[in-house]
Amino acid sequence: MSETTKVPVRPSAAHPVWRALRSNPGISIGGGLLLLMLLAAFFAPLPYDPVTPDPANVLQAPSGSHVFGTDANGFDVFSRVVAAGRSDLVLALLGTLVSLVVGLLIGLPLSTKSRYSEGFMRALDAFQSFPLIVLSVTIVSLTGNAIQNIIYAIVIINGPRFIRLIRGEALAIRDGRFIEAAVATGARPRRIVFRHIMPNVVDVCLVQCSLTAANAVIVIAALNFLGIGVSPPDPTWGSMVQVGAQGISTGQWWVAIWPGVAIFLAIASLNVLAGGIQRRVEGS
């Protein structure tokens, strides 16, 4: 009788997919939206060619033929907003991946408590106290206007966070408290590491990855807005906002707003995804 008190009062008998969605809407909604944007960028049939301007239809307001309108060069805004995901999202994810690798390559060797590694962490503190966005703009513009330089910028801003995170997690594992406890209960250390520690570490890194990707989308948009890393006429959200910025004071809102909304959706879905994974890390 007393056992029943600990059991949920309303057991749910819904479909497993629906239950997963309900139990962690962050992962499903955020991840789903992100996936949708990626798929649309590569596979969606576009009404117009995003890189072919139509000089006869310049600065058309949204209508049936151009749902998001056209910009000052006669590009169809809708086609470009969807297609820009090809460079923006892919670059953001690539930059995140490289940041993760840098974090692993530097963070793991530093996962000792020696004076040397503590000193390095202090230096990292000092490095992070700089206005990193300016530093990255500087480096990108100094090293030339190439796309891979945007990835360097993302790594400069986000690498330190990965280093710190991975070092911390690795220190906790090296500390061996888990392993001690596991051995004490008779489990084999390898099993404990792969069954219990690694999934948690991976989740923690995944949270940081989605936050980094969200930050990367902003950095890319900012750089592109400044004309860095853009190779016209390829569409990017940042450069589209830049093109639209010139008309915003005179009322052509659609040129800048739609790519801005796309940036917002991309960042929001990544943040929501991060929140969802975070909840899974903390457990219910």
Phi then psi for 188, rounded to 5 degrees? -80, 135
* Residue 231 near other proteins by CB under 8 A: no
DSSP conformation class of 114: S
284 binds other proteins (CB under 8 A): yes
Site mask for other proteins (CB under 8 A), range 2-41, x = bound: xx-xxxxxxxx----------x------------------
Distances (CA, A) of 199 to 160, 170, 260, 276, 282: 22, 13, 36, 15, 12
Pick the piece of the chain touching other proteins (CB under 8 A) from 65-73, 83-91, 161-169, 176-184.
161-169
Distance, CA of 221 to CA of 81 (rounded, Å): 13
List Cα–Cα distances, 37 to 9, 83, 88, 225, in angstroms: 39, 9, 11, 21
> Among 164, 169, 201, 239, which residue interacts with other proteins (rule: CB under 8 A)?
164
Check residue 127 for interaction with other proteins (CB under 8 A): yes
Does 258 bind other proteins (CB under 8 A)? Our answer is: no
Phi-psi region of 227 (alpha: psi -120 to 50; beta: other; left: phi over 0): left
Report if residue 148 touches other proteins, rule: CB under 8 A. no
Min CB(13)–other proteins separation in Å: 12
User: 135 by DSSP, 3-state: which?
Assistant: helix
Q: Using the rule CB under 8 A, give the single segment among 74-82, 87-95, 118-126, 184-192 that binds other proteins.
A: 118-126
200 vs 271 by CB, closer to other proteins: 271
Query: Nearest CA to 280 among 28, 55, 52, 65?
Result: 28
Give the separation between CA 58 and CA 75, rounded to whole angstroms: 8
Residues found near other proteins in the complex (CB under 8 A) = 1-3, 5-12, 23, 123, 125-127, 129-135, 137-139, 141-144, 161, 164-165, 214, 218, 221-222, 225-228, 241, 244-245, 248-251, 253, 256-257, 260, 263-264, 267-268, 271-272, 275, 284
